[in-house]
Structure 1
Amino acid sequence: MGFYAKFKWILGILMIFVLIIMTNLIDKNNFVRVRDSVVTIYEDRLIANDLIFEKLKLVQEKEIAVKTLDSTFYENRNLKVNDNLQSLISRFEETKLTSKEATVFNDFKSNVKVLQNAETKFINSSYNSTSKVNSAINSLKTNLSDLSKIQLNEGSRQMSISKRAVDSVELFTQIEIYMLVFLAIIIQIVVMYNPKEKK
């Protein structure tokens, strides 16, 4: 086999090799985007939504205690509920927050302090003045509702990122197939082409 024939074979193999490497790098990038999006949906959206639900249960427990003027709740249970609420706040801070989410969450933390101060005044007033406690509870419920909506919106956004990445993978797979067929034809032409020698 002459130099020209070897060169044609090497060129053909290199073209396929380069195409496969390029498509694999593109596919890898898209799969990383899908993986990151799925991890974000789980860690920063589903877990965060569960924490919001747990916080809402604690806030509702406080709301029921105020509505029923349950002094035993404030004597026995309220401190534990406050500790659980602080624990959930700490866990929520570990999730990745968007700027809007951070704003609402900071407002929530401020409203928790407002509620605790209002509860102290409520207890000192012999469970008579409920308006400030109810107002603080309503603010917390609004914050939690807003945080829950943000989780849904962000989860949807992450799903669309995943979908775009998967669509890119499918598109590049189709392009890769067409390119391989095209290169196979070119390689066949290059390999089979045998210029006539001049006599």
Structure 2
Amino acid sequence: MATNFTSYNRINIGLALTIVFLLVYATNRIDNKHFETVQNALVTLHTDRIIAQDFIYKMNTIAYEKQLHYIDESHNNVHKNLNTDFYTLLEDFSNTKLTLKEATIFDELKIDFDKLILSEKKGLLNSTKKDAAINSLNTIKKDLINLSEIQISESKHLTSLAQKSLDTNNLISKFEIGFLILIGLLIQFTIFYRVKKSEKS
């Protein structure tokens, strides 16, 4: 009977250890998933938000420089150089990951900048044409402000997503520890209770 009890006891312990193994494996997979979520959020935050914000800042700086050159009536070559830099930044910005709303505003920005270039090609000799160009610049700056606000909003969203993933992972880890303790107590109970019962028999 002791032999039968030992076999039964081993089966119980084996099942308990199997459950523990499966639990550790499952939680490991979940941990990896949450780790990937956090990692992707951080990468996106840097490559598609922080860098994008830098592009916006540089484009905004060019817009202000052009406005100053309109007032000073600087040579057209200055505008050509600034325009080239602006187009380069537009190209760089287009390579970042854009939301639907962001893509719409970005398309408006490109259209508004093309209108500005047309105004410049017509010349800025009279006040009417200069005012039109300045109005175009103001529209461009509004587009850039809207894009900047999206970067802030998306950055908050990504940060929140990463934090939620970390919080969930932390909660699961606590459940895992609690479950492992419970399994350990059940194994001890099974061993000692059965041993005492076997000794009485």
Displacement over 6 Å in runs of 4+ = none
Return 5+ residue gaps in structure 2 as ranges. Answer: none
Which residue of the partner structure matches residue 16 of structure 1? Answer: 20
Which residue of the partner structure matches residue 64 of structure 2? Answer: 60
Q: Give the superposed CA RMSD.
A: 1.8
Which residue of the partner structure matches residue 166 of structure 1? Answer: 166
- The answer to whether the 8 A contact 1:63-1:137 is kept is yes
Partner AA of 1:68 in structure 2: D
Which residue of the partner structure matches residue 103 of structure 1? Answer: 104
**Secondary structure at the counterpart of residue 97 of structure 1:** coil
Return 5+ residue gaps in structure 1 as ranges. Answer: none
- How many Å separate the matches in 2 of 1:180 and 1:19? 9
TM-score (norm 1): 0.91
Partner AA of 2:86 in structure 1: L
Which residue of the partner structure matches residue 190 of structure 1? Answer: 190
Question: Equivalent pairs: percent with the same residue?
Answer: 29
Deviations 1:124-160 (A, max 9, x none): xx35431210111000000000100100000001000
Which residue of the partner structure matches residue 175 of structure 1? Answer: 175
Asked if 1:4 is matched to 2:8, the reply is yes
Partner AA of 2:133 in structure 1: V
TM-score (norm 2): 0.90
Partner AA of 1:77 in structure 2: V
- How many Å separate the matches in 2 of 1:59 and 1:77? 12
**Secondary structure at the counterpart of residue 87 of structure 2:** helix
Q: Equivalences for 1:93-132 in 2 at 5 Å? A: 93-123=94-124, 126-128=125-127, 129-132=129-132
TM-superposed CA distance for 1:67, in Å, is 1.8
Give the one of 48, 51, 62 matched to 1:47: 51
- How many Å separate the matches in 2 of 1:9 and 1:174? 23
Task: Name the count of aligned residue pairs.
Answer: 194
- How many Å separate the matches in 2 of 1:179 and 1:161? 27
TM-superposed CA distance for 1:197, in Å, is 9.3
Which residue of the partner structure matches residue 83 of structure 1? Answer: 84
Deviations 1:66-115 (A, max 9, x none): 12222x2x1x2222211111111111011000111111100000001000
